[in-house]
Structure 1
Amino acid sequence: MSADTEVPEIERAGFVERAIVRHRGDSSTPAFDQVAEEIPVALVFNGISHVVMMATPRDLEAFAHGFALTEGVVASAAAIFDCEVFLRDDSAEVAMTIAQEDFVRLKDRRRALTGRSGCGVCGIDSLELLDLRPEALPPPVIAVDLPQALAKAAAGLRAHQALMAATGGVHAAAWCTPQGEIVHVFEDIGRHNGLDKLIGHLALQGVDLRRGFVFLSSRGSYELARKVARMRVPLLATISAPSSLAIRIATEAGMKLVGFCRQDAFVDYTPHISL
């Protein structure tokens, strides 16, 4: 199949095999290694390409839905009328049809943005477009015993990371119950892509995002906190550290933010916010 051939989306493993040579001490051994797949994915809204993200070519419909929601392209999942995914050998395109009022708003603030695995704001040409002022979350509708819930989530996450086990090179985003039970996990070479896939899947399933929390196998960067706050999730937990801007966003939104989550420890960066 040529690189220009388009086919409807089919499930891909998310990794490819590459010939390598393993070196240990004085020995060298030819072998094959499984490497996380990374391709450019164009997101097209009402016929106009909006953004190209570097992503792992799995769960791209969920990814597109999640991106549209967490980036504020649409006001709600109901504003997405159609979504079609086309995979090529080395790229992909997701074509979405959204409500006209959302499309008009998108055109008004349209930006030329090329994403990378670790980048959330590439291409933004003014500080005003960063949208760092989240709306306040409504009062929480769940109660979370943080030590128990986080310990359970931290203990269970690795078992859900099949792509990480195969490649050692991807991030995971998990949806957890208030008790810390892991319900859904999505993986991607980009941490924000994994989160978008998770949010998109939950939106497609009609899950109430106020009744659980997000657990990430990454640091808590500002764009992750902003996406989670925009979706009205009451708690964001990460395995690594947050940034100062992520803490500020969580504080202004009234969202609980915790980091360095382990089976026996965590750090609360918003101790004044209760669940």
Structure 2
Amino acid sequence: MNEFPICSATFTDAGRAPRVLPEETAVAITVNGSTYAVLMATPASLEDLAIGFARTEGIVDTIGDIEQVEIVACEDGLEARLWISKDRADAMAARRRAMAGPVGCGLCGIESLKEAMRSVPRMSGSGALISETLASRATTLLRHQQRLHMRSGSMHAAGFLSPKKGIVAVREDVGRHNALDKLVGCVENMGCAPESGAFVLTSRVSVELVQKAAMVVCGMIIAVSGPTALAIRVAHEAGITVLGFARNGTYECYCHPYRISQG
């Protein structure tokens, strides 16, 4: 459901063609009736956003813990209403009671500064092997599927790269975190395991994106821009391969290069 427009046309200087601008709307993520976070997001693929957010933020362990997702238009924005199993709801409530400090440190779903550096799972398996040729073309393949970015020129995207099929899913948003959450929700709705491929991003690699990848056990991130130093430290500990500056047929590998195969 899209009660709000995704993009709008506006005129710039007189005589020029209209510029298409992406919309951003307040989207409240609620869990079993209580607001968990409010995001500014592109009002598209919001069910994917809610599911992906629940997975990457550790609200649920699997998509099977989610009983229902409902997108509701409100006066000031949209609500993505999640209904999760009682066991997961009880675990989430216990976690929030254990947190110290006031709400609102500026990260989605985070209630204390300590939570910003949460521990993340370490990859226990080898993860997918991606050929050097495919890795070097990944961001180009993604760019060809960025339909909203083609219209506006100002959208982030996240794509899922299959070792055998290339880019099999793409989601776009004004926010890079939202784009990745939407992609996670999409991939899991497809019944595809994130560990079977790689996330391809149109942004820099920040620590939050590494944390999100680790939470869904995706072993590789390929990004058009570079990573932060903290992101690489966390990726190294989590066992995640990070490729940065992947453009024009080249890339830089920062950690765990064994997932890149020759050819």
Report the TM-score when normalising by structure 2.
0.89
User: Aligned ranges for residues 207-226 of structure 1 at < 5 Å?
Assistant: 207-226=192-211
Deviations 1:179-209 (A, max 9, x none): 5711111000000000000000111121121
1:244 lines up with 2:244 in the alignment: no
1:173 lines up with 2:158 in the alignment: yes
- Amino acid paired to 1:19: F
d(CA) in 1 for partners of 2:257 and 2:250?
19
Determine if contact 1:55/1:190 at 8 Å carries over to the other structure.
yes
d(CA) in 1 for partners of 2:74 and 2:8?
15
Alignment match, 2:81: 95
1:135 to 112, 117, 121: 121
How many aligned positions are there? 255
2:65 to 79, 82, 88: 79
The answer to which structure has the higher helix fraction is 2
d(CA) in 1 for partners of 2:4 and 2:229?
37
Determine if contact 1:143/1:178 at 8 Å carries over to the other structure.
yes
d(CA) in 2 for partners of 1:61 and 1:260?
31
2:47 to 43, 58, 61: 61
User: Aligned ranges for residues 42-57 of structure 1 at < 5 Å?
Assistant: 42-57=28-43
Q: 1:113 to 1:73 in 2, by over 3 A?
A: farther
- Amino acid paired to 1:181: G
Determine if contact 2:49/2:178 at 8 Å carries over to the other structure.
yes
Query: Once superposed, what is the RMSD of the aligned Cα atoms?
Result: 2.2
1:108 to 74, 77, 94: 94
- Where in structure 1 are there 5+ consecutive unaligned residues? 1-8, 22-27, 116-120
Q: How much does 1:122 deviate?
A: 5.9
Q: How much does 1:272 deviate?
A: 5.7
Q: How much does 1:101 deviate?
A: 1.9
Partner of 2:203, secondary structure, is coil
Same amino acid, percent of matched pairs: 33
Report the TM-score when normalising by structure 1.
0.85
Q: Once structures 1 and 2 are overlaid, which stretch shifts more, 101-110 or 211-220?
A: 101-110
Alignment match, 2:141: 156
